Structure 1
Amino acid sequence: MMKAAYTALFLIGTTALWSCGHAQREVAIPVEDTIPVTLLSLRQLDADEIIEATGVFTTDDETVLGFKNGGVIQQIYVKEGDPVRKGQRLASVQATEIDTRAGQVNVGLEKAERDYQRAQKLYRDSVATLEQLQNARSAWELAKRDVDAVQYNQQQLHIISPVSGFVLARLANQGQVVGPGTPVLQVNGAGMHSWMLKVGVSDSQWAKIQKGDAAEIETDALPGQKLQAIVSKKLEAMDPQSGTFTIYLDLKTPPSGKLATGVFGKSRISVGKAANNTSPQASWELPYEALVDADGNQAYVFVTRDGKRATKQAVKLGSIGQQSVMVLSGLENIDGVIVAGSPYLTEGSLIRVKP
C-alpha cells in the first residue's frame, strides 16, 4: 500500500517537472527581430522625355596621323581641305638619322657574317668549340634583326593616307621637330563612311540616355530635312575642355545632300524610346546601395509590398553612372525599394521602415 502511494507521488512529481520545463522552453523561443530599413520611393523616369543637345558632324573614320619615330618634317604635301586618296603620301620626315643608322647596322651585319663563317671553319678543324660557333651564329642572327628593324623604320618616314577623303586639319609645318606620334594631319573619309553627330550633355542627361535611343537631327546645311539617328556610343568620362559628357548619334540613313566635318547640328533625343520601337521603355534610377547579387546586367533588390516584410526582386540593369544605375525592368507596380539595411535581409525578413 505504501509502495503504491510512493509510486503515485513519483509520477505526479515527474509530470509536474516535465510540464514546468516544457513551459519554460516554450517561453524561451526567440521572436524574430524586425530590421530597420530605409525605403526609396520609386518614380519612373519620363519615357516620353526629350533631351535637346547640339554638336558637330563627324565620321566614324576620322583619324589623326603622325610619324612613328619623329624627327624634322621635310615636306607636307597637302593643305587643309585637300582631297586625298587611300595610300597617298601626305608628309615626310628627314631621313638623315635613319639612313646613318641603316649604314651602321649593315656594317655590323657584314662583320657578324664574317665571324660566323670563320667560326664554322675553325669548328670543322676542331679549333673552335661548339659554344663559340653557337655564339657567332647568335650574333649574326641579331645583326639581321637589327637590319630588319631599321628597314621597317625607313618605311615609316612618310605619312600615308589610310582612307580616301579630305584633310580636316594641318597640325604641323615644314621644318618643325616632332616626336613619335605627334599629330601632324587630321583626315577623314567624308562621304565614304557613316556620318554621326557628336553632342555634349550634362551628367544627369547622360544617366538617362541609353544606347539605342532614337534621335532626330536638324542642320542648316540640309534645310528642311529631319535626319533619323540612334544613340550609338556614350563616353564614360567627362570632356575636360567642355565639362560635358559626349554622346554619339549615328545617322540611320545617308543624308540627301552633302555634309562636312564640323557642320553644326541640333538633336532631339527620345529618352527610353528605342530606334526600332515606337513604344517607349520604362526605366528607373537607383543608387548602388540598393543592389544585391549583381551579375552583368542582372541584379536583385529588396522591395516591400506591405511595409512589413522584405521581398527579393530580380531586375534588369541598363547604363551605369558614377553614383547610380538605370533599371530597365523588374520594378513595375512597385512603389519603393529598400536602400539601407538590405545587406541584413533575406526573403521574407520582418522590417521596420524608418521615416
Structure 2
Amino acid sequence: MKKVLKISLGILFLILLIGTFVFLWNKTRPVKEVYAIVKPHIDTLEKRAVATGKVEPRDEVLIKPQISGIVSEVYKQAGEPVRQGEVIAKVKVIPDMATLNAAESRVNVARINLAQTKQEFERVKGLFDSGVVAKEEFEKNETEYSKAKEELQNAQDNLEIVQNGIAKRNAELSNTQIRSTITGMVLDVPIKVGNSVILSNNFNDGTTIASVADMNNMIFRGKVDETEVGRIREGMPVKLTIGALQDISLDATLEYIAPKGTEENGVIMFEIKAAAKIPEDVFIRAGYSANADILIDRREGVISIPESSIEFEGTKTFVNLLTSDSTATDQTFERKEIQIGLSNGVNVEVTEGLTGNEQIRGTKTTPTK
C-alpha cells in the first residue's frame, strides 16, 4: 500500500515538473508581432473645426415703460406676433399725493389769474373802443390775457398727466400704453396684471414689460478654443446642427471672431457669431443648443493613409513598407520617409513618397507565438 502511494506521488510530482517547464518555455519564446496591412487610397479630406453654442435672435429688444404705475391690462402673450407700434400692455398711473396737490393748486391759481386778467382785458378793450386808451396799451393787455389762458391750459394738462399719465389733447402719444418698438415675435412677458412697474430713466433700467425679437434674423453664438481660432476667418461657410431638430442642418456664414479670448476651465476660448439661413418651413426657437461645423480646408483626389500608420521622428514622418509576401507568416518591413499634408484626424494626405500601390504596416493585431 505504501509502495503504491509513493509511486502515485512520484508521478504527480513529475507531471507538475513537466508542466512548469512547459509554461516557462512558452513564456520565454519571442512573441511574433503581426500587423494589419493597409494600402494608400484616393480620398477627399476635409479639415473642420467644431464650436458649441446656441441659436438666438440677432436683436432681442426689451420693452420698458416710460411711466411708473400698475399694469392694468396685458394684450400680448409669449409666442404671439407683434408689429411695431402695437400695444402690448397698459399701465395705470398711481399719482403721488404731494405732486397731485401741487398740480391742483397750480390749476386753481391759473384760473384765478385768468379771471383777473380777463376782467382787465375787457375793461381796457372798452376804453380802446372809445378811443381813450392807446393801441399799444390794448395790445399789451391782450397779450397778458392770452398768456393767462395758455397758463391755465398748461396747468390742466399737467394735472391730467399727474392723474392719468397723459393729457387729453395728446392722447395719441399716451405713454400709459406700452407699445412694441419693433416688428417680430413676443419671446417673454414677465409681468402680470396688477404688477408694479418702474419707468426707464438715467438712474434705473426700468421694469421689463416684454422682450421682442425678429425670429427670421437668427445667429449662432458659440466659442472655439485657441487651437482652432487661428485657422478660421470671417466669411467661411458653417453647418449648424441643432440638438432639438435631429434631421435638420442649417447653412450659416461666419461673420464675427472675437479679438480677445476668455479663460474657461484653463482653456482660452474665443466667441464667434454666424448668420444662420432659416428655411421658411422651419421654426427655430430662441436658445436652441447647436454645434457649428466650420470647413477649414478641403482636398479632393489626394493619396491618403491612416494616420495611425505613420511614425514621427522630430520633424520627419515615416511609414513601414511591406517587403515580404503578404501571405507569408513572417512579415518584414522597410522604413521610408514621406511628406504629409492635410489631416482630418483619421486619415492624412501624403504629398510625397508614395505612389498609391504600396502596402504599409498598420496597427498591431493579436500577437501569436
**TM-score (norm: length of structure 2):** 0.44
